[in-house]
Structure 1
Amino acid sequence: MSKVRLFDVFDPSLERYAAFFPEPLLAELKSLVDYRTVPHPKRAFVDTPEYQEELYNAEILLTGWGTPLLPVDLAEKGKVKYICHVTGALRGMVPKELLEAGIKVTNWGSSISRTIAEASLMMILGCLRKVKPIQDIIHLQGGYRPTGLKVQSLFERKVGLFGLGAIARDLVALLKPFNVEIYAYSPHVPQEIMDSLGVKRVTSLRELFTTCDIISVHAARTPANMGAVNADLLQLLPDDGILVNTSRGAVINEAALIAEVQKGRLWVALDVYDKEPLPVDSPLRGSPRVLLFPHVAGPTMDRYVDATRHALDNIRRYLAGEPLVAQVTAAQYDLIT
């Protein structure tokens, strides 16, 4: 029996591809399907006969960072039934029309969640331990032990989570050893999940920000969440309160956050911003109270293989006629960034 034909158009870079698909995992992929590829399928190459022949005759497409935008007419003229997207966001690579036409699409789902949760924990600890000002004093100012700077611990504090999806749930597990009280605002999460995690539900963001002095943002980029963390909420945090965001920059009103930072009240750690890359003249840069990261919370390169194993599992599921994990619907398409 002939194998299902798969065309690999995932092309992040040679280094990143090797991290996603080290030889044992690439060999595993090739053992499952009739594997086809072309070297570096960049946009200048997509009109070649070789590329077109493979693209329109494959049943499975392996896509991800670096994939040229797929043509909309694949749904009508091609043989593709399943797009296994190794990474997260689809826009610019997989058109929404292909999902609307009934082609199955999966992405990395929650396979990378633990690495982002790990980054969130690191950022919380970095704020508590005053990493940014201490490093500035030691490295840039020739000082050693700062005076008037209160280094704090995470143990037995109240932590609030805005959103309780896969990343936040993994963060809950990482927070448990610190004996913290964990509260969450996530209206659509069933109570039984809250109870199973040992998380206390709050019914509004206002309640979350008045209850906790550490807030970690894990909310999806929905219309309701755009700018949800605004000036009124930020003012509810106590002096030396902490705000961490590894979710979406647009969830926080950045101008309001900058105003609070400039007051010298809050400690902040950010991995995402309204505009990326973060503008050179952003007032967030240079503040001793702000830890900044360039959207690298996860997955780390050493854990790309988690996404690959997830993709391979889905390919096996597809071949066996089983339900796929982390299947993306047309309704979810615009929320994945």
Structure 2
Amino acid sequence: MRILVTAPGARQNDQLYPPDVRNRLETLGEVVWNETGTQYSNSELRDRLRGVDVCITGWGAPTLTAETLVEADSLELVAHVGGSVGDVASDALYEQEVTVCSANHVMAPFVAEGILAAVLSSLRDLSQLDDAMKGGDWPSNRKRRSETLYDATLGFVGLGAVGRNLLSHLEPFDVTVNLYDPYVSADDLADVPWVSLTDLEGALAGADVVSIHAARTPETVHMLDREMLAKLPDGSLLVNAARGAIVDEEALVAELGSGRIAAALDVYEDEPLPEEHPLRDQENALLAPHVAGSPCRRYLADAVVSDIERYSRGEPLENPISRERFELMTRQLECER
């Protein structure tokens, strides 16, 4: 088996590719590491795919378009050390019947944990309490907002693997969840009777907390615009650890500026978040730099190599990405490419 690892410096990255994972990979066949120090261009990747059986991609990898696949005479498996393959795979890849897998299932629990941490920190107002204490104050509950997740009503915008994991974290809090996801049926929710399907407005109206789990697609960009954000009840919390473009940031800044709602954000339309962005001035916004899933990094390559091992033995993969699933995954818009 000939294996190409496209990520630059992967062989020296002990966090993403620990020595034991590299050794396991190298026992499977001839491994070609990207030693150039930069991500391959489309033409460079095209030339390197000749004779390759397995291509391991990562963040920033070129899209495997029909043109890039021209020389891929042996390619059987694309394994992505990351979550969404929306910007890596292509219709052409699936038309050539190449199997695709990723570490999406590994990332989801960690992102869900990060969302829960953001929700609890925001409801308890921990950031402002910490600032006040370090400033010499002794803030009381009479001066500061402090809420609870117990018996709360949550609105989910999208479900996906992250939302599924978050539901497991939320169950002990006896919450009620109203879910908007046009790709989920009532049968899919049979094991969570405290979750109800609704439309987008139904997920927003009446929610103490709204958590976004939708992928970024042309249909979801600015799905939460000024009109939809106005549906959020006074005092509610909007949480976004999915993709920044799903929320109209200009409209969100206006809502936050009014003091009507609060937000906990891990993702933004432009990343890194510009230094002068007005979100940085909102006291009722808890901001993090796209790190909700960061603790998973050391597990990603391990999961992908495990699937390559299964593939080499002719066993079913743990996390294959079907064409239908690929078509619903987050990807860049055409104008951003």
In structure 2, give the amino acid aligned to 1:9: T
Take 2:86 and 2:175, find their aligned partners in 1: how far apart are those partners?
A: 38
Equivalent residue for 1:208? 203
1:11 to 8, 13, 33: 8
Cα gap change, 1:14 to 1:5, in 2 (>3 Å):
closer
Take 1:152 and 1:58, find their aligned partners in 2: how far apart are those partners?
A: 55
1:26 to 22, 27, 39: 22
> 1:192-231 maps to which residues of 2 (within 5 A)?
192-231=187-226
2:163 to 164, 168, 182: 168
Shift of 1:54: 5.7
In structure 2, give the amino acid aligned to 1:256: A
Equivalent residue for 2:292? 297
Q: Are 1:42 and 2:35 an aligned pair?
A: no
Indicate the SS of the match to 1:243: strand
In structure 1, give the amino acid aligned to 2:292: A
Cα gap change, 1:334 to 1:191, in 2 (>3 Å):
closer
Q: Please, what TM-score do these two structures have when normalized by structure 2?
A: 0.85
In structure 1, give the amino acid aligned to 2:312: L
Shift of 1:71: 7.9
Take 1:96 and 1:55, find their aligned partners in 2: how far apart are those partners?
A: 18
Q: Are 1:306 and 2:293 an aligned pair?
A: no
Equivalent residue for 2:309? 316
Q: Please, what TM-score do these two structures have when normalized by structure 1?
A: 0.85
Indicate the SS of the match to 1:312: helix
Aligned partners of 1:12 and 1:65 also within 8 Å = no
Q: Are 1:149 and 2:144 an aligned pair?
A: yes
Aligned partners of 1:246 and 1:270 also within 8 Å = yes
Aligned partners of 1:100 and 1:330 also within 8 Å = no
In structure 2, give the amino acid aligned to 1:119: G
Cα gap change, 1:67 to 1:251, in 2 (>3 Å):
closer
1:122 to 107, 110, 117: 117
Shift of 1:7: 2.1
Equivalent residue for 1:59? 53
Equivalent residue for 1:232? 227
Describe the superposition over 1:64-109 as per-residue Cα deviations: whole angstroms up to 9, x where unpaired: 1364676855533232222212123557766664444443332222
Cα gap change, 1:53 to 1:196, in 2 (>3 Å):
same
Aligned partners of 1:159 and 1:213 also within 8 Å = yes
Aligned residue pairs: how many? Answer: 328
Q: Percent identity, aligned pairs only?
A: 28
Root mean square deviation, CA, Å? 3.0
Equivalent residue for 1:271? 266
Shift of 1:192: 2.3
Take 1:33 and 1:123, find their aligned partners in 2: how far apart are those partners?
A: 43
Cα gap change, 1:198 to 1:273, in 2 (>3 Å):
same
Take 2:41 and 2:115, find their aligned partners in 1: how far apart are those partners?
A: 40
Unaligned runs of 5+ in 2: 332-337
Shift of 1:309: 3.1
Cα gap change, 1:104 to 1:125, in 2 (>3 Å):
same
Shift of 1:56: 1.7
Cα gap change, 1:200 to 1:291, in 2 (>3 Å):
same
Greater shift, 4-13 or 188-197, is seen at 4-13
Cα gap change, 1:277 to 1:130, in 2 (>3 Å):
same
Indicate the SS of the match to 2:219: helix
Take 2:184 and 2:109, find their aligned partners in 1: how far apart are those partners?
A: 19
Take 1:255 and 1:45, find their aligned partners in 2: how far apart are those partners?
A: 35
Take 2:164 and 2:107, find their aligned partners in 1: how far apart are those partners?
A: 12
2:321 to 293, 318, 327: 327
Indicate the SS of the match to 1:151: coil
